Chains A and B, each alone.
Chain A
């Protein structure tokens, strides 16, 4: 199992998760996550080399339906619930010209 989680890693993960944590929050999060990850070390002792991962509980595959026309959601009803909409579309702040 990897080494104990650092505050730098927590800050990096928070950027990946699009959460802006304050320095205090990052500090608290680091110690809480470290505590949990420590607990999760109990599975380190298991030999799992021959075990297949289980990704879903019920074996359904390739669930398809007939390609027929169906009613979809009402566009205006959807846009009415959006934080900002314009000309039948969702409106967002500028997406280019800024550092990501």
Chain B
């Protein structure tokens, strides 16, 4: 399958047409989407219009954008004007946003061709897409296994060749974990580098948009386009996008790579073996491996599963059957709210709203939410100490390769443990990315996670590129 950068080069110099590239991807969607279910909606007609326009521009000698002709899929929690945006929830089914998310505007301006809206765990709450109200997405590499989540549709779309790239959102690992399970590259940038205007909010102090691609160079290229300050997002860092493609060939000579000596337990041995192989590869390439301790990491699950649901319970209060989405009629306003939310939300979303409301309620606030915010500080301080000695840290992305459908659905805590290596990054607001690095005992892909400190994307991409060369 063609890389994003090859498509851009070909479309720009006229050796490829955006239309032909699009039809190739639509053909693969036609052939396999019914078994994979990566999409909630395929926007073939609009995509054809866009591709035709780009081809006309190239023919007319007009300048085209940095993503000219690239078929891209969007997680269905990003607003697209006039195009249904559901968050894979019944409560928003049928809703057509009155505006585009900033990332969507940037993609369109860069000449990307949006092919559809991808499936997710409802409101991005889950690690397998089994919580989608519209049915799960299958892992394209083995359809008896989950693609990971919550951005499972976006990961599957790239893995299956339905799109050359996609965007997801990552609150506790929702880009990196599915990227690892589907064998693609997934990046969660520094909190505040990519605008979240038009991203449906889950947990606002944690959410971040990022790319899925089939290799590291494509990820760097796409991230450069979607990054940068946006006045429409008050948490957006007032800085220009960092140059990433320029550092990919720099190598890792002299870099210090952290190995966490007190990594939380529960990781499969075949995954840990790949982590060791990754350290070996980087050492051979001239990096130094340095032991670091992150003692508070063991509390990250508790901090996250108090903070994220607390913020979610507040953010999801807006789904009340008044301004958008669906309503269940009732005699008075409060009865209407309750009936609407009861019918509209799935089980996991209700569970998190309940957990969050409880953690924030009078009498419990200090014991749960207040404490969790302090633990968040401890985790952030641990990282700050570690990054005095290292440039990046390496961990597995996920404790296991892609698991079978239904194997964790009865036990919410078992599902939450999928995120044990990815959550700390969100709590700290740092960047991290998952790079495919070989396979596990079941021949399914293993992802290695490269972590860096705030705005440390260049170091992270150098290491990721080296791992890719070695894999």
Contact = CB atoms under 8 A, between A and B. Distances in A.
Interface of A: 1-2, 5, 9-10, 13-14, 16-21, 29, 32-33, 35-37, 39-40, 42-43, 46, 48, 51-58, 60, 63, 65, 73-74, 77-78, 81-84, 90, 92-95, 97-98, 100
A39 B299 CA distance: 10
A77 B336 CA distance: 24
B457 to A, nearest CB: 14
Given A10-B354, A21-B350, A81-B95, 7 more contacts: A32-B351, A32-B412, A43-B375, A57-B454, A78-B323, A92-B333, A93-B336
Contacts of A14: 354
A49 to B, nearest CB: 9
B299 A60 contact: no
Contacts of A84: 327
Interface in B321-342: 321-327, 329-339, 341-342
A18 B191 contact: no
**Nearest 5 Cβ contacts at the A-B interface:** A57-B429, A53-B373, A83-B327, A98-B332, A54-B377
Q: Which of A37, A40, A54, A65 has the most CB of B within 10 A?
A: A54
Contacts of B350: 19, 21, 29
Contacts of B325: 83
Nearest to B234: A63
A2 B306 CA distance: 15
A17 to B, nearest CB: 4
B365 to A, nearest CB: 11
B361 interface: yes
Contacts of B331: 93-94, 98
B266 interface: no
6 contacts: A17-B341, A29-B354, A32-B351, A55-B205, A57-B205, A97-B332
A31 B357 CA distance: 16
Contacts of A19: 338, 341-342, 345, 350, 353-354
Given A18-B334, A39-B413, A48-B371, A57 B354 contact: no
Contact of A83 (B98, B326, B430): B326
A18 to B, nearest CB: 4
Contacts of A20: 338-339, 341-342
A54 B380 contact: yes
Interface of B: 95-99, 190-192, 205-206, 231, 234-235, 237, 298-299, 301-303, 305-306, 313, 317, 320-327, 329-339, 341-342, 345, 350-351, 353-355, 357-358, 361, 363-364, 367-368, 370-378, 380, 412-413, 427-430, 454
Contact of A93 (B301, B302, B313, B330): B330
Contact of B377 (A53, A74, A83): A53
Contact of A39 (B302, B330, B342, B361): B302
A28 B142 CA distance: 33
A28 to B, nearest CB: 9
Given A52-B374, A53-B373, A36 B305 contact: yes
B322 A57 contact: no
A37 B301 CA distance: 12
Contacts, number: 167
Nearest to B206: A57
Given A29-B354, A32-B351, A63-B234, A13 B361 contact: yes
B292 to A, nearest CB: 20
A40 B191 contact: no
A40 B375 contact: no
A29 B336 CA distance: 22
B321 A83 contact: yes
B358 A5 contact: yes
Given A43-B299, A55-B205, A94 B332 contact: yes
B322 A83 contact: yes
Nearest to B333: A95
Given A36-B355, A36-B412, A93 B332 contact: yes
Nearest to B82: A77
Contact of B205 (A21, A39, A56): A56
A100 B99 CA distance: 35
Contacts of B335: 93, 98
A22 B298 CA distance: 36
Nearest to A12: B361
Contact of B370 (A32, A35, A53, A92): A53
B127 to A, nearest CB: 15
A73 to B, nearest CB: 5
Given A5-B358, A90-B322, A81 B98 contact: yes
B207 to A, nearest CB: 11
Contacts of A53: 370, 373-374, 376-377
Given A53-B374, A54-B380, A92 B322 contact: yes
A89 to B, nearest CB: 11
Contacts of A21: 342, 350
Given A46-B375, A58-B429, A94-B332, A33 B354 contact: yes
Given A19-B338, A58-B191, A82-B323, A13 B354 contact: yes
A89 B357 CA distance: 30
